[in-house]
Amino acid sequence: MSDQTIVFGIHAVRTLLQRRPERAARLMLQKGRQDARVNALLTLAQSAGVDTRYCDTRELDRLAGHQRHQGACLQVHAMGALGEGALDELLDRAAAAPLLLVLDGVQDPHNLGACLRTADAAGVTAVIVPRDRAAGLSPAVRKVASGAAETMPLIQVVNLARTLRWLKERDIWIVGADGQATTRAYQATLDGPLALVLGAEEQGLRRLTREQCDLLVGIPMQGVVESLNVSVASGILLYEAVRQRETAAARRR
């Protein structure tokens, strides 16, 4: 657990108050605003015993780093990124076959936030990123993640290739996304213990990362664009894995 930080935006604040109220320290709302969404936040905060105060727009702007806060900021005891040691424990505790999302050098905080949000929705065990030259848990990431940054474990590792080798020793299938791959994602088997690996916004997978993948898959592109945003691509691949897992589970019943 790291120091306190600010979560802002109606949806992100509501999600944290609903799912992790024990992490909330103080709710700050815009003076004079009395609409239904803000009142709902106030009710949640009061139910959880969270201190609330009203601030002018200038103060909220400062707290949110001059990003769009929608009149609500929440001071929280932030869940920071976890170290490599936490990954072993998370895998041991996983109730089902682990599903991991590995991001190789994604530096755009909006992309990382969107990936965390999608990972949370898809039931991912953890998101793994390099410690260096990659986005971390900034306020902008937390805003885009809409609360998922407070629930989805983010593991920062020193050496991503080494971590992938270790995952393979734990019988986790490593599947990398590559626009030049001859195997389409829908042709791959993604229903077992799995780590999906996606590269940075422009460079894609680094060579050492690519070499650790058991399989490379591509997403069919029918239009004129050559590639998809990493957060969009991660959503497509994660939900293909979810679809295959649900289908496999239905067959076993």
- CATH number where 48 lies: 3.30.1330.30
Residue 55's Cβ-side half-sphere holds a number of Cα atoms within 13 Å equal to 20
State residue 209's pLDDT score: 95
Please check if 160 is assigned to a binding site. no
Distance separating alpha carbons of residues 206 and 190, to the nearest angstrom: 22
State residue 1's pLDDT score: 38
Least confident of 11-20, 22-31, 121-130, 172-181: 11-20
Question: Do 73 and 115 sit in the same domain of this protein?
Answer: no
Encode pLDDT of 36-60 as tens digits. 999 999 999 999 999 999 999 999 9
Report DSSP letters for 101-123, one per residue.
EEEES---HHHHHHHHHHHHHTT
Strand order across the beta sheet in which 72-77 lies: 4-8, 72-77, 24-30, 51-55
State residue 2's pLDDT score: 47
Least confident of 129-133, 193-197, 205-209, 225-229: 225-229
Please check if 112 is assigned to a binding site. no
Please check if 44 is assigned to a binding site. no
The token duo for 148 is 């998922």
- Can you tell me which residue has the tokens 């650790």? 212
Question: Do 159 and 213 sit in the same domain of this protein?
Answer: yes
How far CA 143 is from CA of 113, 193, 214, in Å, comes to 7, 30, 34
Q: Which domain holds residue 143?
A: 84-252
Percent of the chain with pLDDT over 90: 59
Q: Which of 77, 95, 115 is the last residue of a domain?
A: 77
**Total number of domains constituting the chain:** 2
Distance separating alpha carbons of residues 109 and 131, to the nearest angstrom: 14
Residues 247-253 have a mean pLDDT of 87
Question: Do 94 and 140 sit in the same domain of this protein?
Answer: yes
Confidence class for position 91, pLDDT limits 50, 70, 90 = very high
Question: Do 207 and 106 sit in the same domain of this protein?
Answer: yes
Cα first-last separation, the chain = 40
Nearest to 109 by CA among 23, 8, 234, 230: 230
